[in-house]
Amino acid sequence: MTGPIGYTTTTEDVLKGVSLAGKRALVTGTSAGLGVETARALAAHGAHVVGAVRDLAKGEAATAKVRADAKAGGGSFELIELDLASLASVRAAADALVAKGEKFDIIIANAGVMAAPFGKTADGFETQFGTNHLGHFLLINRIASLLNPGARVVSLASSGHRFSNVDLEDPNFEHTDYDPWAAYGRAKTANILFAVEFDRRHKASGIRAAAVHPGGIQTELDRYLPEGALDAMVAQINDDEKAAGRGPFAFKTIPQGAATSVWAATADGAEVGGHYCENCHVGAVLAPGAKLNPLSEGVFGYALDPETAKALWAKSEQWVGEQF
Work out the average pLDDT over 114-122.
Answer: 94
Within a domain: 143: yes
Asked if residues 106 and 118 have their Cβ atoms less than 8 Å apart, the reply is no
- Decide if pLDDT at 229 tops 90: no
Whether 178 is catalytic: no
With respect to residue 322, please indicate whether it lies within any of the assigned structural domains.
no
Residue 310 lies in a domain: yes
CA 212/CA 305 separation, integer angstroms: 16
Phi and psi at 182, nearest 5°, equal -65, -40
Q: Are 214 and 199 in contact (CB under 8 A)?
A: no
The rounded distance, in Å, linking the Cα atoms of 312 and 82 is: 23
User: Is residue 178 pLDDT above 60, yes or no?
Assistant: yes
| Residue 63 located in a structural domain | yes
Question: Domain limits at 93?
Answer: 11-316
Confidence of residue 318 (pLDDT cuts 50, 70, 90): very high
Tally Cβ neighbours within 10 Å of residue 177: 7
Q: Say how many domains are in the chain.
A: 1
**The pLDDT value given to residue 296:** 75
Nearest-angstrom CA–CA distance, 100 and 114:
33
pLDDT higher than threshold 60 for residue 299: yes
pLDDT at 257 over 60: yes
On the question of pLDDT at 228 being above 90, the answer is no
Confidence of residue 63 (pLDDT cuts 50, 70, 90): very high
Q: How many CA atoms lie within 13 A of 117 on its CB side?
A: 4
User: Do 138 and 321 form a contact (C-beta atoms < 8 A)?
Assistant: no
User: How much is the mean pLDDT over the chain?
Assistant: 92
Domain-located, residue 70:
yes
Question: Please, how many CA atoms are within 13 Å of residue 10, restricted to the half-sphere of its CB?
Answer: 9
The answer to whether residue 220 scores a pLDDT higher than 90 is: no
Residue 202 near residue 268, CB atoms below 8 Å: no
β-pairing verdict for 281-282 and 276-278: antiparallel
pLDDT score of 251: 79
Note whether residue 324 is domain-resident.
Answer: no
Q: What is the pLDDT of residue 115?
A: 86
What CATH number did the domain enclosing 165 receive?
3.40.50.720
Q: Would you tell me how many other CB atoms lie within 10 Å of the CB of residue 48?
A: 21
Nearest to 161 by CA among 121, 239, 214, 83: 214
- The model's confidence at residue 290, banded by pLDDT at 50, 70 and 90, is confident
Distances in Å between the alpha carbon of 259 and those of 90, 101, 265, 267, 281?
A: 27, 29, 10, 12, 11
Of 1-10, 64-73, 300-309, the range with the lowest mean pLDDT is 1-10
Confidence of residue 250 (pLDDT cuts 50, 70, 90): confident
Do 11 and 33 form a contact (C-beta atoms < 8 A)? no
The residues, any chain, with a CB within 8 Å of residue 49's CB and separated by 6 or more, are: 24, 25, 26, 27, 30, 39, 42, 43, 66, 70, 75, 76, 77, 78
Greatest Cα pair distance, the chain, in angstroms, is 57
Q: State pLDDT tens for residues 153-169.
A: 999 999 999 999 999 99
In the chain the first and final C-alpha atoms are separated, in Å, by 35
Of the listed 7, 178, 184, 302, which one is catalytic?
184
Per-residue b/e over 289-319, b at no fewer than 16 CB within 10 Å?
eeeeebbebbbbebbbbeebbeebbebbeeb
Instruction: Spell out the alpha helix ranges (H) of the chain.
Output: 11-15, 33-44, 56-62, 64-73, 87-100, 127-128, 136-142, 180-202, 229-243, 254-257, 259-266, 269-272, 306-320
